[in-house]
Structure 1
Amino acid sequence: VVSQWTSLLSVLEYHLEKMGWKYCVIDGNVPSHHRKDIISVFNKDPKAAQVMLLSMGAGGVGLNLKGANHLILLDIHWNPAMEAQVCDRIYRVGQQKPVFVHKLLCRGTIEDRVQQLQDRKRRLFNEVVPDPEAERGGGSNS
């Protein structure tokens, strides 16, 4: 479960504890040498932690969370590349299960507007940066 707001993760942490779910947390308060241990346990022992609470800033780059195959984005980042980086934490070499990314979005909210901006940025990027597969003759038309 990923959020850019640690306060939101804290609320979720409270409810997970209340329900008796096992979880672990990686945010800016967790030293990097502890993160490796947390990730190792999370990836190797599904009974040790059913849920990983991850702040987008602390968990966006360099983590291998192949023990997970569902990623829930609680809020939307204005930068689609940041979200892609977070999603890549579970799309890893060695991932044995199908991967599902769940993005929570309500119509008419600020997140809805941010999603529209992301879509516009993606379209612009795709217009400016050519698809390398198309240039090499790859893709479905070759």
Structure 2
Amino acid sequence: MRVNVTVNGERREADDVWEGESLLYLLRERLGLPGSKNACEQGECGSCTVYLDGTPVCSCLVAAGQAEGREVVTVEGLAEGDRLDPVQQSFVDAGAVQCGFCTPGLVIAAHDLLARVPRPGDEEIREALAGNLCRCTGYEKILDAVRAVAR
């Protein structure tokens, strides 16, 4: 099947998409957007989180065909040209990026939280990031990054 989707503001098309193919596979392998990571393939780790019509979703759990005619924003799409989104920049500045595998999902989750709650408290930040697993850090630098943007 053919899938037409708007990704990061650009209309994209993919042919020969099979019925069981995930949105994550479509983004990474067919459209060349490697930012979202493939880790658990069960929606448990959050590494593949993207916006689908403005709502964060685990792209490993969304069939590519479900994105037909819809809008997807990946971690790459948050930046404006060479200028990182404030959340992305804060992760860099705070040293919240370790191996980088969980970072795309954490950035999308933090971005979504800050769009809804501009000045979240620690409880709200922890709750918003709870669906994202990081194996490299103790999460404190990640929390610092979100707190910095909230200020």
TM-score range, shorter chain: under 0.3
Structure number having the greater helix percentage: 1
